[in-house]
Structure 1
Amino acid sequence: MSFWKNLFGGGAAKNEPAGDKVMDQESYKGFLIKAIEMKAGSEFQLAGLIEKDVGGELKSYRYIRAERMASRDDLIPLALAKGRQIIDEQGEQIFR
Structure 2
Amino acid sequence: MGLFSRLFGKSEPKPEPVIEPVEYKGCLIYQNSISESGQYRIAGQITKEIDGELKTHRFIRSDVLSSKDDADELMLKKSQMLIDQMGDSIFN
- Using the size of structure 2 for normalisation, the TM-score is 0.75
- Structure 1: 5+ residue stretches without partners: 1-19
Ranges of 4+ aligned residues in structure 1 off by more than 6 Å: none
> Secondary structure in 1 aligned to 2:47?
strand
Does the Cα contact within 8 Å between 2:33 and 2:71 map onto a contact in 1? no
Who wins on radius of gyration, i.e. which is larger?
Answer: 2
- Using the size of structure 1 for normalisation, the TM-score is 0.72
Percent identity, aligned pairs only, is 36
Q: Shift in Å at residue 52 of structure 1?
A: 0.2
Q: Does 1:87 align with 2:61?
A: no
Q: Shift in Å at residue 35 of structure 1?
A: 0.6
Question: Comparing 81-90 with 67-76, which one deviates more in the overlay?
Answer: 67-76
2: CA distance, partners of 1:87 / 1:76 = 16
Taking only aligned residues, the RMSD between alpha carbons, in angstroms, comes to 1.7
Question: Could you report, residue by residue, the CA deviation over 1:27-77 in whole angstroms, capped at 9, with x for unpaired residues?
Answer: 000000111131222111001100000111110001111111111111111
Alignment-derived partner of residue 52 in structure 2: 56
- Structure 2: 5+ residue stretches without partners: 1-15
Alignment-derived partner of residue 16 in structure 1: none
